[in-house]
């Protein structure tokens, strides 16, 4: 095999390397060894007559040649995916395909179980890989093929992302049922005098975290913040074992209130509703398996409540 003998597989690896800038990360995403990725890069360098990447410190930076071919390369791979999708049939009952989904910690808790139950009914060979949000833009991860779909609140998503709204959500305040001032906490002035748990936003770009932190910072005095935590689930756990107040997405609060012995009530803070959507890259838009997966997600969560089976009754303030 000479340097001209490259395949679409090699070109997909090159596209991924351009996105993540790391041999190790590319190998993890592709589930292959790093030496295999290195061999593919060596072949690509020989084919293009260019090093393609140079190391600067610990990072890999693309050469001008690599930057030049990046866009035509994406177009070629998108066209290839479109041609395959137009003819490849998909039967969930016989497929062993693994679908991957980027979700928040709330999605891990609330969305993954119904998806698995749906897979068990529709296709026993189907598998799911739940991928957490990280510091990289989720659009880049979808384009690189690291995941099939992202679900969340991303109002600033790139225009080239395909999207479908699934449902909207609000917020509820939550405290432990044994809270000593439980009967008074549904009043605005009373709850603002309590100590609160603040969920801090991060560079993942999820709108629910950012909006909540901004509003709570504006309405609460600094000494009313008991603790800052990185996730809604942690906030709920802290509330269940202390007298601090958590503010949670409403569907999550209702979902876990019974398990954590929490009482929930409308929060007096002026918070906008959260719009949850599914996002995917245009290159997989016509793939039959991908279309089935998106339809399944819309059927499970579109304009509907996410609940346990059997559902627990909503907890009310005593």
pLDDT, the chain, mean: 85
| β-bridge mates for residue 253, sequence order | none
Taking 70 as the threshold, does the pLDDT of residue 316 lie above it? Answer: no
Residues 6 or more apart whose CB falls under 8 angstroms from that of 289 comprise: 88, 90, 95, 97, 99
- Whether pLDDT at 310 is above 50: no
- Contact assessment for residue 207 and residue 256, using Cβ atoms and an 8 Å cutoff: no
Which tokens go with 235? 């906030």
Count other C-beta atoms under 10 Å from residue 17's C-beta.
23
Q: pTM (2 decimals)?
A: 0.69
Residue 2 has pLDDT above 60, yes or no: no
pLDDT per residue as tens digits for the range 296-308 = 999 999 975 454 4
300, 115 contact by CB (below 8 A)? yes
Angle in degrees, CA 168, 114, 160, rounded to 5: 50
User: Residue 100 in 3-state DSSP?
Assistant: strand
Model confidence band, residue 219 (pLDDT cutoffs 50, 70, 90): confident
Which residue reads 């398990």 in tokens? 259
Instruction: Provide mean pLDDT across the span 37-43.
Output: 91
Beta-bridge partner residues of 152: 277
- Residue ranges and CATH numbers for the domains of the chain are 8-85 (1.10.10.10), 98-167+275-301 (3.40.190.10), 169-273 (3.40.190.10)
């Amino acid at each position: 095999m000479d340097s001209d003998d490259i395949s679409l597989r090699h070109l997909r690896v090159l596209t991924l390397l351009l996105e993540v800038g790391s041999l190790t990360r590319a190998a993890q995403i592709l589930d292959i060894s790093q030496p295999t990725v290195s061999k593919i890069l060596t072949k690509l360098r020989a084919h293009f007559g260019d090093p393609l990447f140079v190391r600067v410190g610990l990072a890999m930076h693309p050469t001008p040649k690599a930057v030049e071919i990046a866009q035509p390369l994406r177009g070629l791979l998108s066209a290839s995916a479109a041609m395959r999708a137009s003819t490849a049939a998909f039967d969930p009952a016989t497929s062993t395909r693994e679908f991957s989904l980027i979700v928040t910690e709330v999605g891990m808790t609330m969305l993954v179980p119904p998806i698995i139950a749906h897979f068990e009914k529709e296709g026993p060979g189907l598998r799911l890989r739940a991928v957490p949000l990280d510091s990289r833009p989720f659009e880049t991860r979808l384009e690189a093929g690291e995941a099939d779909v992202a679900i969340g609140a991303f109002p600033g998503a790139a225009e080239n992302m395909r999207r479908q709204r699934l449902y909207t959500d609000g917020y509820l305040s939550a405290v432990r049922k044994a809270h000593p001032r439980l009967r008074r906490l549904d009043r605005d002035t009373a709850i603002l005098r309590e100590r609160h748990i603040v969920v801090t936003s991060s560079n993942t770009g999820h709108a629910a975290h950012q909006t909540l932190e901004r509003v709570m910072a504006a309405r609460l005095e600094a000494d009313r913040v008991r603790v800052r935590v990185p996730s809604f689930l942690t906030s709920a756990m802290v509330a269940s074992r202390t007298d601090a107040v958590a503010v949670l997405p409403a569907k999550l609060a209702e979902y876990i209130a019974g398990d954590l012995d929490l009482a929930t009530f409308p929060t007096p803070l002026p918070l906008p509703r959260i719009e949850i959507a599914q996002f995917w890259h245009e290159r997989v838009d016509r793939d039959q398996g991908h279309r089935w997966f998106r339809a399944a997600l819309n059927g499970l969560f579109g304009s509907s409540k996410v609940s346990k089976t059997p559902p627990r009754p909503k907890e009310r303030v005593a």
